[in-house]
Amino acid sequence: MSVTEAADAAPLNDAMLAMDVVDTLRHGADLSAAGETATVERLRAGYRQIGIEAPESVLRIGIAAMADGRFGYAPPTGAIAALARLYVSRTKWGRPALVLGIVLAIALGAYVFGYRPYSASQAEAARVELTQTLPAQMDALYQEIFNETKVQAAADSAAQLRSRGKDAAQRGDRAGAEDAIAQLTALHDQLRSNYAVRIVDRDGVKPGFWTFPPNNTEATNYYIVVEAIDTDGNALKLPIADENSGAIKTVSQWGLKVPQSVYEAVMADKQDDGTIQHYIGVFKQDGAIDTDYITPVLGAAVTQW
């Protein structure tokens, strides 16, 4: 008879005794260290001490059951068991998981229904501005300059600026397109302005100066300090190109390069009675770019000295 058949044939109390044998062996591993026969004797002695006469067959069934792993609990494994344990422990992770889920749902909703539409609208607005709005401003400024100018040079400059600005807009260069508009606006304002260029004649301001050219210390450049005055007597700020740096700065006073003879005449005029009667230019007419000078000038200028 096999161990299993013997266990099945044993009465209930013997089966319970066999289960107790297994439990005893499980909690006292040293009982089976001397072999099966010695273990049987030690188990029998132990049961006799508590008033139980344990049959050898039942003891051996218990020892065999212990060896086979019977009457023991083995935790289930696999995905289902893992899900079951996760469900049982839901009180620990349920609330944080719920909060995290809500936060993720809000973030996803904000991205899908907020940020993405906003980003798309911004990109579309930038595209429309570069392809339509800014080019339309360039066309409008060019047309106004073309209609108002009295010199071909202004129309040519406006055409070049418009072409350069549209090329920048087509490349997606917003800064380049806006720079072209700024220069077209400055040209338009210059065409509409009326002013006269005169020598600065105020206490504490020297009306002229001389310098050595940056790359030629044997030569001398002469300048007179001038300003632009509109028809109401107000000083204007004009964009002036510095001949030394090449930079264009908007200034209210600048040094106008003149021949030595003009410089000496102005300085002598100032020293004569403290007042300068020598005028440099006439009014710049509406629609023109440059001032017509009645005094010989060399055209170049400096914005700092």
* Residue 85 placed within a domain: no
User: Which of the pair, 279 or 98, is modelled with greater confidence?
Assistant: 98
Predicted local distance difference test score (pLDDT) of residue 88: 75
The predicted-structure confidence for 161-191, as pLDDT tens digits, reads as follows 999 999 999 998 999 999 999 999 988 888 8
- What's the domain range around 242? 195-302
Predicted local distance difference test score (pLDDT) of residue 261: 92
* Residue 26 placed within a domain: yes
Task: Give the three-class secondary structure for 47.
Answer: helix
Predicted local distance difference test score (pLDDT) of residue 180: 93
Please tell me the distance from the alpha carbon of residue 228 to that of residue 237, in angstroms, as a whole number. Answer: 7
- Counting the structural domains of the chain, the total is 3
* Residue 74 placed within a domain: no
Mean pLDDT of 240-248: 88
Chosen domain end from 143, 167, 192: 192
* Residue 80 placed within a domain: no
Q: How is residue 300 annotated by DSSP? A: -
Please tell me the distance from the alpha carbon of residue 253 to that of residue 276, in angstroms, as a whole number. Answer: 16
CB contact at 8 A, 285 and 194: yes
For residue 36, give both structure tokens.
Answer: 């099966």
How far, in Å, are 79, 210, 260 from residue 224 at the CA level?
94, 9, 10
* Residue 92 placed within a domain: no
The predicted-structure confidence for 44-59, as pLDDT tens digits, reads as follows 877 888 878 888 888 7
Q: Are residues 127 and 168 in the same domain?
A: yes
The predicted-structure confidence for 247-290, as pLDDT tens digits, reads as follows 888 899 999 999 999 999 999 988 888 888 766 666 566 666 76
Average pLDDT of the residues of the chain: 81
Q: Cβ of 263: how many Cβ atoms within 10 Å? A: 20
Query: Best-predicted range by mean pLDDT among 13-22, 101-110, 113-122?
Result: 101-110
The predicted-structure confidence for 13-24, as pLDDT tens digits, reads as follows 777 877 777 777
